[in-house]
Amino acid sequence: MDLGLKEKVAIVTGASQGIGFGIAERFAREGAYVVITGRRLEALEAAAEEIGQHSKVLIVQGDVRKAADIKHVVEETMRWFGKIDILVNNDGAPPLGLIAQFDDETWVAAVERNLLSVVRMVREVVPFMREHHEGSIINIAALSAIQPMDGFGLSVATWAGLIGYAKSLANEIGRDGIRVNTICPGFIDTPRLQKSMVRTGQTIDDRAAQTVLNRIGKPDDIGAFAAFLASPLAGYITGTAVQVDGGMFRGVR
């Protein structure tokens, strides 16, 4: 199925590995031009080698916790491609641990990483999307934002704020033709999941058993859904926060 992403320009943050890489690669397979950014140049180069087999890819090294780096990413994207159609905000997650143990410095860093990075990136990108009266902004949070889990308190608090921000943003820029949605992944096979399993002493099978499908997800499971959300096929979807979790979330809402 053609998703209509050919030659669309997508910025994907945190794209050197894990979910970010899965999204960037899927976009490239659909024919989009992909701008990947992250802190580690060597990892970005390795990712670009794979993504570049499918479509054009631009590396812009940067730290989304820094306003100047965000501005640089957007400026380079416009210099090379002249437009921005899609923005995917994805940048890992704060440290794991009991919520009462973290000091102010750790909390501030979590807010910078999970919330302010998105606020700043959106502020830079939206004016260019408005020029074409079209755009898709996708934020990557986690299932823990809507179903809190022990040890994920920093993520829960900051991503819950992100969801509120995204829904407000969707209300404000929908008339400009820009859609805003948030994906809340469940257990996905990433380095982050490996760290959390070491902390809890659980195995892959333990995590899989918590899902209806009895498996953990792959980065491309998120990539495929992100590609759909970014596409014209999802043109009437905005302001949502959707879990992609193999049925782990059992609530009715």
Contact indicator for 85, 134 with CB cutoff of 8 Å: yes
Query: Is 103 within 8 Å of 150 (Cβ atoms)?
Result: no
Mean pLDDT by groups of 10 residues along the chain of 253 residues: 95 95 98 97 96 97 95 98 98 84 94 95 98 97 87 90 97 98 92 68 80 92 98 98 90 71
Q: Which of 251, 207, 223, 224 is nearest to 90 (CA)?
A: 223
* pLDDT given at position 180: 98
> Given this model, what pLDDT does residue 199 score?
63
SS3 state of residue 238:
coil
* Beta partners for residue 140, in sequence order: 183
Listing from the earlier edge strand, what are the strands of the sheet with 86-89?
Answer: 57-61, 33-38, 9-13, 86-89, 135-140, 178-185, 241-244
The CATH classification number of 9-188+218-243 equals 3.40.50.720
Asked whether 7 and 30 are in contact (CB, 8 A), the reply is: no
Residue extents of the structural domains in the chain:
9-188+218-243
* Residue 124 near residue 70 (C-beta atoms within 8 A): yes
Distances (CA, A) of 139 to 20, 142, 202: 11, 10, 28
Confidence (pLDDT) at 249 = 84
Six token digits for residue 167: 């829904």
Question: Which two tokens mark 186?
Answer: 């469940």
